[in-house]
Amino acid sequence: MEIAIFCGARPNFIKVAPVIRQITNLQKRGEALTYTLIYAGAEDDPTLEGTIFDDLDIQRPAVYLSVTCQNLNELTGQVMAKFEAYLQNHHTDAVIVVDDLASTMAAAIVTKKQGILLAHIAAGTRSFDIKMPKEINRLVIDGLSDLLFTAGISNNSIANREGAELSKVYCVGNILTDNLRHCHNAIEAAGAVTSRDVLEPLGLTTHDGNENCTKPRYIVFTLNRKALLADRDNLLAMLTGMLKACGDTPVIAPLRNPAVETITSIGLHRGLDLHNFHIINPLGYLPFSYLTKHALGIITDSGNVAEEATFNQVPCITLNSYTEHIETVKVGTNVLVGEDADKLAEATRKMVSGQWKQSAIPERWDGRVAERIVQTVVDTAEKYYHK
């Protein structure tokens, strides 16, 4: 059986890595199972840091479609044309896609036009804002998929409410937990990342005579949403309140250029005090995992980071009014503050003072999600082609 695993951007690799490792494990046991990892982008894509595939313990993509345009409609068309050509020239029994990008939607459409079994990881996620391009992508991908793999019961309910057959929807759990468990084991077993690598360059570790490191107190901050960066007046208010609430607790901010330029400009021209705000270059997957796992708390606009925080049981503030995985709020460590500066400041004060809510790890976030996904794809494919 041949499975094509399609990725449209860097975060997708993080979510498919456990599936690839599980297929590799089954191959070692003699299973007649193969896969091809396909990337919509180019081989020299600057967003793919050199260490990511080593960190995830997977091979680099075997196929690059080299679609690099920014216009979403043009990108969709190019991916459809190139992925269709791939499927027409390579026998494929199933295609696995993940998340909700325009390129993912394009791959899903082509897969079904070719009559191939389609599986969607992270299905059933919704913002319920049809003006968001990703919401349209989600509706199309889920509507076409033969297998919808959801992270939680709430995602199952959404898929069923929208008409998906019960037999197509599987609550397998959050695939990120597989990755976190695998990477944490690698860090601890091999010393792949230590406090010396991540924290010491920032002056945030101290050692006694026996080289024992005292645990530092710091908060991790990430920001990518264009809407937040565009409203500089509100961003100034949010950062001012947040940093005041942090007090002496340092904030470590691995940021990409748009966020760096916006925040430093606000500091330079609007009087924002950034002396306790440490901007650093984006980190590789393992160093970033280490940084967030050992943080006092996390403030982010990333759903993936919030999900990881829940698994690690680290307090998390999300700069958004909704989350695709409500389990992180109802069960986990996550709190939503939207774009409200006052709510952010109050939540930060609770985080720093240790007055955070009680939390737990959601059901089936157990690090064995890929096993369930691969077995279901294999079993379904046998029935799909022998109707």
Higher local confidence (pLDDT), 186 or 168 = 168
Looking at residue 311, which CATH number applies to its domain? 3.40.50.2000
Q: Does residue 153 sit in the same domain as residue 232?
A: no
Residues 109 and 157 both lie in one domain:
yes
Q: Are residues 321 and 185 in the same domain?
A: yes
Asked, for residue 359, whether it belongs to a domain, the answer is no
- Whether 119 maps to a domain, the answer reads yes
Same domain, 293 and 332: yes
Q: Residue for token digits 């309910």?
A: 157
- Rounded CA-CA distance 136/157 in Å is 18
- In this structure, the answer to whether residues 221 and 76 fall within a common structural domain is no
Q: Identify the pLDDT of residue 130.
A: 86
Question: Would you say 178 and 369 are in contact if contact means Cβ atoms under 8 Å apart?
Answer: yes
* Least confident stretch, 14-23, 77-86, 161-170, 190-199: 190-199
Residue 207 is predicted with a pLDDT of: 47
What is the pLDDT, as a whole number, of residue 180?
A: 86
pLDDT score at 26: 97
DSSP string, 208-225: -TT-PBPPP--EEE----
Residue range 265-280, pLDDT digits in tens: 999 999 899 999 999 9
Same domain, 94 and 159: yes
Q: Mark whether 59 and 199 lie in a shared domain.
A: no
- pLDDT tens track for 237-261: 999 999 999 999 999 999 999 999 9
Shared-domain flag, residues 63 and 166: yes
Give 190's pLDDT tier (boundaries 50, 70, 90).
Answer: low
How many Cα atoms are found within 13 Å in the side-chain-facing hemisphere of 124? 28
Q: Do 160 and 194 share a domain, yes or no?
A: no
**In the chain, which residue ranges form alpha helices assigned H by DSSP?**
10-28, 52-56, 72-89, 102-113, 133-144, 153-161, 176-190, 195-198, 226-230, 232-246, 257-269, 285-293, 303-312, 327-330, 341-353, 369-384
Residue 361 included in any domain: no
Nearest-CA neighbor of 362 among 221, 109, 216, 153?
153
Please tell me the total count of domains within the chain.
2
The reply to whether 248 falls in a domain is yes
Strand 2-7 and strand 251-254: pairing?
unpaired
Residues 245 and 267 in one domain: yes
Q: What is the pLDDT of residue 214?
A: 56
Q: For residue 336, what pLDDT is reported?
A: 98
The reported pLDDT for the residue numbered 188 is 63
- Same domain? 221 vs 313: yes
Q: pTM for this structure?
A: 0.83
Domain identity same for 113 and 19: yes
pLDDT of residue 206: 47
pLDDT at 121: 96
Cα distances (Å, whole numbers) of residue 145 to 65, 107, 277:
22, 11, 44
128: in domain: yes
C-alpha dihedral sign at 70, 73, 76, 78:
negative
In-domain check, residue 294:
yes
Note whether residue 358 is domain-resident.
Answer: no
Please, which pLDDT band fits residue 195 given cuts at 50, 70 and 90?
low
The residue segments making up the domain with residue 370 are 2-173+366-384
pLDDT digits (tens, 9 = 90+) for 352-372: 999 999 999 998 899 999 999
The confidence score (pLDDT) of residue 290 equals 85
